[in-house]
Amino acid sequence: MITKLSHVTLFVTDQEKAHNFYVNTLGFKVHTDAVMEHGFRWLTVIPPEQPDLQITLLSPLTGFMYKDEEVRNAFRVLLEKGALGAGVLHTPDCKATYEELKAKGVHFNSGPKEQFYGIEAVITDGCGNWFSMTQPK
Amino acid sequence: MHIAPAVYKRIIAGKLYVDQHFQEPIDLGIISQKACISRFHFHRLFTRVYNKTPHQYLTGKRIAFARKLLEDGNLSISEICNSVGFESMGSFSMLFKKETGISPRAYRNNTLLKKELVKRSPYSFIPNCFINTCLASQ
């Protein structure tokens, strides 16, 4: 029986930039930051109110994760185009969070809109991913 | 409940004031003044927007910063208590334990132990399938 999801991978163009965005801008916390001897960095963050889900911020473009050129190019294209819809982030108030993050310089693909499931804006992490930022009904 | 955009901006201004000044002796009166809203309305609207009272939010900010300082390991626990805005070690320890489940000292010890383990054997923190992917590509 599978009971829960403990780790989920988010591929990012730049781990340090992603660290800054998720930790300093969004307020996530670093769970583990381990560097192996050949430079592979295992960096996981957790959302403020979800300590048992680690989001692994992995760079497929550098290091040894994917040496296959074709795979790396495929990732590069997807990340550079910001094409990867990574998930849904919950907020207690979409409009307030939108205003606050806009003031911090975060780019949104679209502002808060009423949807049948709540109020939603589309936020980007600047590292290749976008999320639905939703205030559920 | 509909909140007008101008009022949103004031609530956010109050929250950002807390973000920047939580280390100082601030309270609801000061925060609501910065937001240009009465104490009562600020408390009600802030709680509506953030699902926490201003006091809960302020305490959360202080505890989060205390965790960071405890992880850094440079200051003593009483120095951390003072620098995050708590007036007494008693209330700091009590609120810290309430929030994290352990005392500040235990938190520091656990964090330092984990840091040491991460440094000494990073492999033990990484799922093996990721290590295999990584090593196989070398």
Tokens linked to B23: 């280390």
Is B80 in the same domain as B41?
no
Average of pLDDT values for B86-114?
93
In a domain, B62, yes or no: no
Is B42 in the same domain as B94?
no
Give residue B75's pLDDT.
92
For the domain spanning A7-136, the CATH number is 3.10.180.10
Q: Which residue has the higher pLDDT, B68 or B132?
A: B68
Is B41 in the same domain as B105?
no
At A77, give phi and psi (nearest 5°): -60, -45
Measured distance CA(A46)–CA(A8) in Å, rounded: 10
The alpha carbon of residue B82 is apart from the nearest alpha carbon of chain A, in Å, by: 23
Ranking A22-31, A119-128, B112-121 by mean pLDDT, the lowest is B112-121
In a domain, B61, yes or no: no
Q: Which residues pair with A124 in a beta bridge?
A: A130
In a domain, B75, yes or no: yes
Measured distance CA(B65)–CA(B71) in Å, rounded: 10
ipTM of the complex: 0.71
| A132: amino acid identity, one letter | S
Chain A hits for B135, CB-CB cut-off 8 Å, are: 64
The alpha carbon of residue A126 is apart from the nearest alpha carbon of chain B, in Å, by: 23
Residue A95 contacts B, CB cutoff 8 Å: yes
Cβ–Cβ of A99/B9 closer than 8 Å? Answer: yes
Q: Is the pTM of this model over 0.80?
A: yes
Tokens linked to B100: 């994290």
Strands (DSSP E) contained in A1-137 are 7-11, 29-35, 41-46, 54-58, 84-90, 108-115, 118-124, 129-136
Is B86 in the same domain as B44?
no
Residue in A with minimal Cα distance to B15: A100
Give residue B135's pLDDT.
62
Cβ–Cβ of B49/A96 closer than 8 Å? Answer: yes
Q: Which domain range does residue B137 map to? A: 69-138
Is B75 in the same domain as B137?
yes
Reported as a pLDDT band with limits 50, 70 and 90, residue B29 is: very high
In a domain, B63, yes or no: no
Residue A36 contacts B, CB cutoff 8 Å: yes
Give the alpha-carbon dihedral of B106, B109, B114, B115, to 10 degrees: 140
Measured distance CA(B118)–CA(B74) in Å, rounded: 19
Residue A16 contacts B, CB cutoff 8 Å: no
Q: List chain A domain ranges.
A: 7-136
The alpha carbon of residue B58 is apart from the nearest alpha carbon of chain A, in Å, by: 14
Ranking A75-84, A125-134, B35-44 by mean pLDDT, the lowest is A75-84
Answer whether residue A124 shows pLDDT above 80.
Answer: yes
Cβ–Cβ of A65/B134 closer than 8 Å? Answer: yes
State the CATH number of the domain containing residue B75.
1.10.10
How many structural domains comprise chain B? 2
Q: Quick one: how far is CA A79 from the chain centroid?
A: 12
Which of B10, B65, B134 should be substituted to probe chain A, the one whose Cβ sees the most A Cβ atoms within 10 Å?
B134
